[in-house]
Every structure is written in structure tokens, then in C-alpha cells.
Amino acid sequence: MSSSIASSSSSSSSSSKKEKKISLKTSDGEVFEVEEPVAMQLEIVRSFFADNEDVTEQTVMPLPNVSTAAMHGILEYCRAHEEFRRRMPEAAPEEEVRAFEAGYVDRKSNEELKEMILAANYLNISKLLDFLTGVAAKRIENKSVEYVRAFFGVENDFTPEEEANLRREYEWAFEGVDED
């Protein structure tokens, strides 16, 4: 194992080059040592290190809005994309990316997906955010208002009169028709 400048601990650095690591602390106190190019996909991290000259490599950046579970999911995605980029800097291998993304979201429950959308929004990773919101949209396609409320865990806060008005609109519902 090559000695790294940063106080990196666990992850193996198979490359001979010293890999710079950045420490990120999630809301529940866990510290992640993240390879620099991966961490820099998180726009909030990139600008934190770009804007603050007094931060050092030892600085642990707190991310109070991101849970450990969401962080695991996000890093998995960002690492995979960094790997694609490293292997094929010119053009990403589209087939492979699609296959990875499909398998990646299949394993995510609605709860995990929502958590990660909020985290990706906070961390400002536009590519991941765009991808995850697309997945969420697919999961609520052609579903009822009640289903969408339950999906997002949103409470119905309309008054009975408003509800009645909405129901009237609903009678005219402009609906998507499932192809079958």
C-alpha cells in the first residue's frame, strides 16, 4: 500500500499514484474518505474546497442533510461514473452506463430513492439528480393522486371545499391511458 498524504485509512489504493482523499461527515456522524475526483462530482464539496482557502486535506466537511444510507448510494453512483470516465474519457460507454443505472435503481426502495433525491439536490449533483427524478417520475406514472401522496408521504391539506372543487375537476380528468 502506498502511503498517502491524506490521513486515509481503509480503502485500498491499487494505483501506484498517491490518491488524495476528502473526508465527508454525514448527519449521523459517520466519516467517509472519498477519492478526490469522486468527491468533486458533489458540487457542494467542490465549491467548499474552491472557496475556502484555509481548508486543508485534514478538514472534515460536515454534510448535515445527508444520511449515511443516502451517502452510500450516492458514492456508489459517483464512483461508477468516475470509473466510466476514467476508462473512456471521450465518450461514456452508453450501453454499460444504462445497464449499471438500471441495476442500480432496481435495488432502491421508494424510501431510499426519495432520500437520495433530497441528498443529491442538497449536494448539487445535477446528473444524479436528473437521473433519480426521472426514476421517481417513472414510478408515479399514471398513478392516482392518493398514490402520489403516499409515494411522497405528503399529507392532504386541502379544505373540504377545495377537495370538492378538485373532485369536480377530477370528473373531467385528463388521464394517461395505459397501453395494453
Partner 1 sequence: MNPGCRKKRKINICNDRREWCDLPEDLLVIISNHLNLADVLTFGRVCRNWRLFFSASKQKVLTSQPPLVFHIPSRASKSCYFYDMSSGIRYVTKLADFSDKSILGVSNGYLILERVFLYNSDIWAVNPVTGHQLKFPGMPQPNTTKYDRDNPYFKCRRVRAIFASFGCRQDFLVMILSKLHKNVRFCTSRDYKWKVYSFTGKTWDILDIALYKGMIFAITSELQIGLLKLGHPDLKLLNLECTPNICINVRFVASDDKLLVINFSSLRVNGVVQVYWINFEGWEWVKVNNLDDEALFLGDMMTSRLIKTSNWGGCRNCVYDLQFMSNTCYVYSLNGPMRRSVPTTIKGGVSPRKINCWYFLHQAYNINNVKEVILAET
Report how far residue 14's alpha carbon sits from residue 124's, in angstroms, rounded to the nearest whole number: 29
Residue 29 is given by DSSP the state: S
Query: With respect to partner 1, which residue has the nearer C-beta, 53 or 157?
Result: 157
**Shortest separation between residue 90's beta carbon and partner 1, angstroms:** 25
Work out whether 51 is an interface residue with partner 1 (CB under 8 A): no
Report how far residue 119's alpha carbon sits from residue 108's, in angstroms, rounded to the nearest whole number: 14
Work out whether 54 is an interface residue with partner 1 (CB under 8 A): no
**Shortest separation between residue 178's beta carbon and partner 1, angstroms:** 9
**Edge-to-edge strand ranges of the sheet holding 21-25:** 31-35, 21-25, 60-62
Q: How many Cα atoms are found within 13 Å in the side-chain-facing hemisphere of 74? A: 33
| Selected binder of partner 1 within 4, 13, 110, 133 (CB under 8 A) | 133
Segment interacting with partner 1, rule: CB under 8 A, options 49-57, 68-76, 89-97, 145-153: 145-153
Q: Are 13 and 1 in contact (CB under 8 A)?
A: yes
Work out whether 98 is an interface residue with partner 1 (CB under 8 A): no
Work out whether 118 is an interface residue with partner 1 (CB under 8 A): yes
Work out whether 143 is an interface residue with partner 1 (CB under 8 A): yes
Report how far residue 35's alpha carbon sits from residue 13's, in angstroms, rounded to the nearest whole number: 10
Query: With respect to partner 1, which residue has the nearer C-beta, 24 or 117?
Result: 117
Work out whether 109 is an interface residue with partner 1 (CB under 8 A): no
Q: Give the type of residue at 70.
A: A
Report how far residue 68's alpha carbon sits from residue 58's, in angstroms, rounded to the nearest whole number: 20
Binding footprint of partner 1 on the chain (CB under 8 A): 65, 114, 117-118, 121, 129-130, 133-134, 136-138, 140-145, 148-149, 152-159, 162, 166, 168-177, 179
